[in-house]
Amino acid sequence: MVDFDQPADPHAAWARQHVHDYVATDGQHPTNGHDWLKGSTVLLLTTIGHRSGKASRTPLIYGRDGDRYLIVASKGGADVAPVWYQNLVAEPRVRIQVRGDVIDGRARTATPAEKAALWPTMTTIWPDYDAYQRKTDRDIPLVIIESGV
């Protein structure tokens, strides 16, 4: 059984503080909420650990494609994917929080065609994604989250 109700928060102090402020204010915090740097928007992603089996929560920039939520597994252009991505590949059931709304969904890596179509949506929100992709040989995944699936 997947338990999303008691997630661990990030180890990095800045990310842990963002999660704390976001949850405490339903994303309304002026600096650590839904509306973030450079006009970007942030959701909280909860995944189940691919090794631990325990829930963990991460603040991530997101975009939308209709009813779908889009996130990018960039890790700043590192040569390895972020742990949260490894988690959702192993267990695609996820929970997101967008402002005060908590939504259960299913995550999947975009197909190459979907990524080509949706990448500009994400680089409009966070232009650094293009620089991150140039920094690594790894194909940075774009993830699609569908609610209620």
Q: Which residue has tokens 């959701």?
A: 43
Query: In whole numbers, what is the pLDDT of the chain averaged over residues?
Result: 95
In a domain, 4, yes or no: no
In a domain, 121, yes or no: yes
Q: What is the span of the domain harbouring residue 122?
A: 13-147
In a domain, 5, yes or no: no
CA-to-CA distance for 132 and 94, rounded, in angstroms?
A: 25
CATH of the domain at 48: 2.30.110.10
If pLDDT is split at 50, 70 and 90, which confidence band does 149 have? low
pLDDT of residue 1: 58
Q: Which residue has the higher pLDDT, 3 or 145?
A: 145
In a domain, 81, yes or no: yes
CA-to-CA distance for 22 and 123, rounded, in angstroms?
A: 23
In a domain, 134, yes or no: yes
In a domain, 7, yes or no: no
pLDDT in tens, 65-86: 999 999 999 999 999 999 999 9
Whether 136 shows a pLDDT value over 70: the answer reads yes
Whether 2 shows a pLDDT value over 80: the answer reads no
The H-or-E segment that residue 39 falls in is none
CA-to-CA distance for 123 and 72, rounded, in angstroms?
A: 10
Tally of domains in the chain = 1
Contacts of range 94-97, beta carbons closer than 8 Å, 24 or more positions apart: 94/45, 94/46, 94/47, 94/145, 95/4, 95/45, 95/46, 95/55, 96/43, 96/44, 96/45, 96/46, 96/69, 96/145, 96/147, 97/22, 97/23, 97/27, 97/43, 97/44, 97/46
Most distant CA pair in the chain, distance: 39
